[in-house]
Amino acid sequence: MNSLLAITQAINNNVNEQGLYAMYRSFVTWDLAIPQLALCVTTNNDWEIVAQKNIQIPDNEHDYAHLATRFKEPSKIKKGENPFLDQFDFAIPVRHKNQPIACAFLGGMKENGTTYDKIQVITAITNFIAVALENKRLFRAKLEQELIQKEFQLATEIQQMLLPKNLPNQKTFELSKIYRQHSQVGGDYYDYFSLGPQRFAFCIADVAGKGISAALLMANFQAILRGLIFQKLSIKELITQLNTNIFKVTKGERFITFFIGIVDFNQHLLTYVNAGHIPPIFVQKENTKTLRKGCLILGATAKLPFVQIGQEPLNETSTIFSFTDGVTDLTNDHNEYLSEEKLIQFTREHFSLSSDDFNDAFFKFVNEFKGSHPFPDDFTVLTCKIKPELQ
C-alpha cells in the first residue's frame, strides 16, 4: 500500500516517465516478487520496452514490443508461438479510448493461491500508470499545439503588417486587392510604391510552396524589393538585382514568380516585367491583351539569360487585372478550371467599374464558379485602374 501511495503521489507531483517506470518496475518485481517483467508502451504506433527485468531483449526490439497489440485483455500466454513471448506467462494490455497504449508481460510466476490477486493488482496499477502517462502526453501535446498556434498567429500578424492595408484611390488611378490566405501564413505578395508625383509602381508575386517557409521567403523578398525600388534603377536593373539577391538566399531550390508595373503619367506609359508570373490582363475600350514580356522566374538561376521590357500606352482608361495561381487553380463542380479565356471575358465585361467594384464582382463570380469546391491555394488579386482623362 505504501508503494501504491508513492506511485500515486509521484503521478500527482508530475514525476517524469522514467521515474514512474522505475517505480513500476520496483513495485512489480520487488513488492510483488514477479521474477520477469517487460512493460511495453507506444507513442504514435511506435512501441518500445520501457521497464524490464531478467529478460532477453531482441535486437529488433520494436518488432517484438508491438506484439502487445495482439492482446485485448489480460491473458495467459501460450508457449511456442514466439521467442520473445515464450519468456512470459501473462500479458496485461492497457487500452485508452479503445486504442492500445501499453502492455505488461509477466514471467517466472508460479501459480498458487496469490497469483490471481497479483494479476488483479498489477492490472490495476498498469492501467493507472499507463492512462495517467497517456493523459499527460496528450496534455503536453495540447500545450505544444497551442504554442504552435500562437506562433502561427504571431507570424500571421507580422505578415499582415508587411502588406499594405490601404491602397490608393485617386482621381487618376485606383488600386484594389483581394488577399485570402489558404493557411495562416502564405507565400503571396502584393505591394504599391509611390515613385514621385507622376510615377508609381505596383507588383504581385507568388513564392513557390506554402506555409512558414514560403512566408519567410516572401518577407525576405519584400525587404529586398523595398531596398531596391527607390534607388532609381532601370526596371531591367531592378529585376536583375532582385534575381541575384533571391538566388543568394534560395541557391536555386526555391523560386518566385513576379510581376511589376511602373506607371508614368508624364509619358502616359505602363512599363512592366513579368518574371514567370501568370500574365495579368490589360484591357482598354478597344484593346485587350495579356502582359507576358519579361524573364524567367526569380531565384531559379544565378543569372537571368534575358529580360524583355514590356510597354503599353495609357492614353485612355485602362484596367490591369493581376492575380496569383490561387485563381487559375480553382475548379468547379464539373472539375473545370477557371481558364484564361473566362478571366479575359470577365475583365472585358467589367473593366469600366472602379477597382473596388471590379474586385467585388470578381469575388462573387469566383464563388459562383467554384461552387462547393474549396480554395486550393492562397488567393490574391491586385487590380489597377488608370484614368488619364481625369488629369
Same domain, residue pair 247 and 297: yes
Same domain, residue pair 123 and 266: no
28-45 pLDDT per residue, tens: 898 888 999 999 888 777
Which band of pLDDT confidence, cut at 50, 70 and 90, is reported for residue 353? very high
CATH number assigned to the domain comprising residue 27: 3.30.450.40
Q: In the numeric block, which cell numbers belong to residue 257?
A: 514568380
Which band of pLDDT confidence, cut at 50, 70 and 90, is reported for residue 380? very high
pLDDT value at residue 145: 80
For residue 28, is it within any domain? yes
How many independent structural domains does the chain possess? 2
CATH number assigned to the domain comprising residue 181: 3.60.40.10
**Domain, as residue range, for 272:** 163-390
Same domain, residue pair 134 and 168: no
Greatest CA separation for the chain: 103
pLDDT value at residue 21: 87
113-166 pLDDT per residue, tens: 778 888 888 888 888 888 788 777 777 778 888 776 776 666 666 666 678 888
Same domain, residue pair 120 and 255: no
Same domain, residue pair 236 and 302: yes
Count of CB atoms within 10 A of residue 150's CB? 10
Beta strands in the chain (DSSP E): 36-43, 46-53, 75-76, 90-96, 99-107, 173-180, 188-194, 199-207, 256-264, 269-275, 281-284, 287-290, 294-295, 310-313, 318-323, 379-386
pLDDT value at residue 200: 96
Strand pairing class (75-76; 90-96): antiparallel
For residue 147, is it within any domain? no
Instruction: Give the mean model confidence (pLDDT) for residues 346-361.
Output: 95
